[in-house]
Structure 1
Amino acid sequence: MKQTPERILLPVSPVFIAVSLFVAFLLNLQPWGHWVGVPDFVALVLVFWGIHQPRRVGIGIAFCMGLLMDVNDATLLGENALAYTLLSYFAITLHRRVLWFPLKKQVWYILFLLLSSQLVQMLVQFIISQRTSSWFYLLDSCIGALLWPVVTAILLAPQRRSVNTDLDSSL
């Protein structure tokens, strides 16, 4: 098995973090965002930043993003906020462990985190309105976990250093 060398990443820009969360929010606002099988992009981006930048994106940002999603979805105020807060807490708690594994094995941790977030939402909906969702509702988390390598590649791209580090090569 060929091992690729670890790269040292550049520091992440707070503006890039904000833009990525805004784009994820815009993706969730789309009409197809409520179809079965479309992942929760805000949750996916919150997990990514909770794992890769736990000091910059924490529980407070997750709570605010959850409130924005509650207002957008016209759900019980605090339902998404609770789910995103717990999701962010567990992502921050597991961040060192997740980063030890290669990307293909990280998918299982991400699947666990996204499923637990959706199960919290299902539990809140059941307690409040005795409404149950279909098990197909959990397909969103599975597809979100499968998108983890793509999301990682996109969100880490601005932080990667160039491979050619020889400054004298242009002479």
Structure 2
Amino acid sequence: MNSSSQSSSSIYWAFSISCFVAFTLTLVQVPDWLSAFWPDWIALVIVYWSLLVPSRIGPLAGFIIGTMLEVLFAKTFGVLSAGLATLAFLVNISHLQLRVTSRWQQIFLVVFLVAIYKLVNLWFEGMVDGAKITAQDWLSLIGDLMIWPFINIVLDELRRALKIR
């Protein structure tokens, strides 16, 4: 097996493992006061892998993971998929700029991109299901802001352990 296919295989294993953990964390029951601030784990994992390996993880991966999330939560088809595909696309086209920013700048840019993801989701939910946008819909961005550095560190360690470049 050559090194590029081994690396590609490692990327998909690492992506699958991190998505499984993100799905699990998304399903965790938390107290009501914490649920509003609970991060968008799937979106942050998509951002990380789209940022680090944009040639392998992109809008198609976001669409597939979004479809799995829709099945999991019994949501209308295409709402979460379109949001995650848009998020992956935005990260892919701006990955060079995101990589050269400082850690603090990157945190705020990632939260801005996740906010765009939430806006797309809320917009589609409003069109399809008639959902209203409330201030509570945006509180999870605070959780995203606080948890991104830890996700970055943990997934960097996973990437180093699997020798993914």
Q: TM-score range by the shorter chain?
A: 0.7 to 0.9
The structure with the largest helix share of the pair is 2
Supply the distance in 2 between the matched residues of 1:24 and 1:92 (Cα, whole angstroms): 20
> Residue 122 of structure 2 corresponds to which residue in structure 1?
122
CA RMSD across the alignment: 2.0
What amino acid is the match of 1:87?
Answer: L
What amino acid is the match of 2:51?
Answer: I
> Residue 27 of structure 1 corresponds to which residue in structure 2?
25
Supply the distance in 1 between the matched residues of 2:78 and 2:141 (Cα, whole angstroms): 20
1:76 aligns with 2:59: no
Give the alignment of 1:21-170 within 5 angstroms.
Answer: 21-32=19-30, 35-160=35-160
Post-superposition offset of 1:146: 2.4
- Is the 8 Å Cα contact of residues 27 and 33 (structure 1) preserved in structure 2? no
Deviation string, structure 1 residues 31-66 (Cα, Å, up to 9, x no partner): 339921111111100000011111121111111100
- Is the 8 Å Cα contact of residues 87 and 114 (structure 1) preserved in structure 2? yes
What amino acid is the match of 2:50?
Answer: G
Which structure would you say has the larger Rg?
A: 1
Unaligned runs of 5+ in 1: 1-10, 162-171
| Matched pairs, number | 151
Supply the distance in 2 between the matched residues of 1:136 and 1:121 (Cα, whole angstroms): 14
> Residue 5 of structure 1 corresponds to which residue in structure 2?
none
TM-score (norm 1): 0.81
Supply the distance in 1 between the matched residues of 2:93 and 2:141 (Cα, whole angstroms): 20
Post-superposition offset of 1:158: 3.3
- Is the 8 Å Cα contact of residues 118 and 141 (structure 1) preserved in structure 2? no
Post-superposition offset of 1:27: 1.4
Supply the distance in 1 between the matched residues of 2:137 and 2:41 (Cα, whole angstroms): 15
Residue 30 of structure 2 aligns to a residue whose secondary structure is helix
- Is the 8 Å Cα contact of residues 24 and 45 (structure 1) preserved in structure 2? yes
What amino acid is the match of 2:134?
Answer: S
Percent identical across equivalent pairs? 23
